[in-house]
Amino acid sequence: DIQMTQSPSSVSASVGDRVTITCRASQHVSAWLAWYQQKPGKAPNLLIYAASSLHTGVPSRFSGSGSGTEFTLTIDSLQPEDFATYYCQQANSFPFSFGPGTKVDIK
């Protein structure tokens, strides 16, 4: 099975900051990686699929990159509504798996 790790586990940032989250897979997953945002008490929301494709309706300040085993999610100019937990998920092979999450909170 493919194990996913994320770093950092948490980050404190200010509105307007650029935030970068890294996700690593224990095996090659090609570009089959998705990113989700989850706010407390809510279901996750898809942000990025296939490593770098922005899901419909997601603001352009979110971007994804990477392939193989290392991926990044970047949030340019952090907005108040972006304070949340972010998860990566590999979709290369069953069983799919999520990373442990990165919490972005207010500095």
Partner 1 sequence: EVLLEQSGGEVKKPGESLRISCKGSGFIFSNYWIAWVRQMPGKGLEWMGIMFPGDSETTYSPSFQGQVTMSADKSISTAYLQWSSLQASDTAIYYCARHRGTAATPRWGFDTWGQGTLLTVSS
C-beta of 24: minimal distance to partner 1 in Å? Answer: 16
| Binding-site ranges for partner 1 (CB under 8 A) | 1, 32, 34, 36, 38, 43-46, 48-50, 55-56, 85, 87, 89, 91-92, 94-101
| Pair type for strands 45-49 and 33-38 | antiparallel
Question: Judged by CB, which is closer to partner 1: 56, or 60?
Answer: 56
Question: Judged by CB, which is closer to partner 1: 17, or 74?
Answer: 74
User: Can you tell me the distance from the alpha carbon of 1 to that of 8, in angstroms, rounded to the nearest whole number?
Assistant: 23
C-beta of 67: minimal distance to partner 1 in Å? Answer: 13
Question: Judged by CB, which is closer to partner 1: 1, or 77?
Answer: 1
User: Can you tell me the distance from the alpha carbon of 100 to that of 102, in angstroms, rounded to the nearest whole number?
Assistant: 7
